Amino acid sequence: LAIENLQPDKVVTIQQAELDELPVGMSVAQLVANDQMSVQDLLYGLILPSGSDAAVVLAHAVSGDTATFVNLMNTRAAQLGLNDTHYMNPYGAEESGQYSSAADLVKLAQKAMNYQLFATIVSTQQHRLAPDYYHHGYPWDNILAPFLQNYPGANGIKTGSNAAGTDWCMVFSAYRNGRLLIGAEMQ
């Protein structure tokens, strides 16, 4: 939704209230209140280190608040035919009523990989945002880097787990014999 609704160079100011929305134990990009950064940099912070804080900031940038954004997520999921998916929050925290299937994750990944910006970000092993007058420095490493480094043809996408680390999933893509293969594994 952020890629579809926001210009990559749009500058967003991070609000403390947005950071305060996060449940304890979520993975974050270590965003700092009052920093200003582009939507593109926030997308790197969202995807590479699984920045739940960036998810909330982007949700507010798209729709003004988290609840409205979650409604947009569910509307978009229905438009994409994700019949086994329902969102309760934008950052993937385990919550009653939030669910998805491996098949739906693959459908979503296929759509997302059509966006060049998304494909570029998920294949990036690290993104260094140097400090300047507008924001702190942010050194983000892709948690999927071992897969990108060790699997020939790998080009992304994302891992995830619950706060306890007992449930784990991975949506992945790689080129093989001239074809883009996309899959998902859920534990």
Q: 122 and 156 in contact (C-beta within 8 Å)?
A: yes
pLDDT, tens digit, for every residue of 76-126? Answer: 999 999 999 999 999 988 899 999 999 999 999 999 999 999 999 999 999
Chain-wide mean pLDDT for the chain? 94
Tell me the pTM.
0.95
Residue 164 has pLDDT above 60, yes or no: no
**Picking from 8-17, 42-51, 129-138, 165-174, which range would have the lowest pLDDT averaged per residue?**
165-174
The confidence band for 160, taking pLDDT boundaries of 50, 70 and 90, is confident
pLDDT for 154:
96
**Percent of the chain residues past pLDDT 70, beyond the cut:** 97
